[in-house]
Chain A
């Protein structure tokens, strides 16, 4: 994907260390915990330790750069 409004932090190693990565982490956690196929296995999840993403999104989102595509 060339320059696009999509800010993609596809994996930890590729993720830029700026606020956009935190926004992507919030989006990822929302999807991991509520989405995905439930196949009938057991879903084990220790007490959610997601303090890392309790960030000030109001500040973060406004600073998310548009124009960085990674894929």
Chain B
């Protein structure tokens, strides 16, 4: 089984890194594209912390050298032929996407969930739902403000849906590599402006949120 980490352009040197289950990274060149993968007899893919970091470490091994389109976590192929076919089929949009994100990284800005203050229990179900709705609206309003303030420092942005069960609002920004520090200073200013909210900013990540629609494959 082939486990795919990402797609990049031509690589001049062999890649040195490990992937899931401590297996060495391999590459397969198809035209001007290169797939970075590892081979497994069997691989139970779970979204746990260790495997997620292992996937990320493999993507970063490529990202340190050149632009990479990170693959969706858990993407597998039965063999190399299938992988090659997929690359050939989607070569054009993949090239386009690689060009678009070249020189950029993704930064994640997360807005702390406000929630009901601890100890302030809703008197009844209706009040509880109203509190939840009010909280959600405040979060969305803050998200929009954040988006507007930071947009000027980014190439693109999008609201990220939470996959981890968290109630916080997360916004993804595509930022030029050279503009990361400037962006993070802007986040710091934003935090000072709204001290009542907690903001976090993590990254640089590979541009996961800006390549999901790079191919015609259904998500």
Contact = CB atoms under 8 A, between A and B. Distances in A.
Partners in one complex: yes
Contacts of B200: 7, 20, 23, 27, 61, 64
Given A5-B184, A42-B77, A33 B7 contact: no
Interface string A40-65: 11111111111011100110011010
Contact of B47 (A8, A40, A50, A54): A50
Interface of A: 1-2, 4-13, 15, 20, 23-50, 52-54, 57-58, 61-62, 64, 66, 69, 71
Contacts of A30: 108, 160-164, 166, 170
Interface of B: 2, 4, 6-7, 44-50, 52-57, 60, 69-78, 82-83, 86-87, 89-90, 94, 97, 106-108, 110, 112-113, 115, 160-168, 170, 172, 180-181, 183-185, 187-188, 191, 198-205, 208-212, 214-215, 217-219
Contacts of B184: 4-6, 66, 69
Given A39-B217, A66-B188, A58 B115 contact: yes
Contact of B76 (A36, A41, A66, A71): A41
B214 to A, nearest CB: 5
Given A31-B208, A44-B74, A37 B94 contact: yes
A34 B60 CA distance: 18
B76 A44 contact: yes
B155 to A, nearest CB: 16
Contacts of A53: 49, 164-166
Given A28-B53, A31-B209, A36 B72 contact: yes
A13 B60 CA distance: 13
Given A31-B209, A50-B48, A61-B198, A37 B215 contact: yes
Given A41-B75, A62-B198, A11 B56 contact: yes
Contacts of A58: 112-113, 115, 198
A38 B217 contact: yes
B7 A6 contact: no
A56 B2 CA distance: 36
Contacts of B107: 6
A9 to B, nearest CB: 7
Contacts of B60: 10-11
A13 B58 CA distance: 13
A5 B187 contact: yes
Nearest to B57: A11
Contacts of B211: 35-37
B163 A33 contact: yes
A62 B69 CA distance: 32
A26 to B, nearest CB: 5
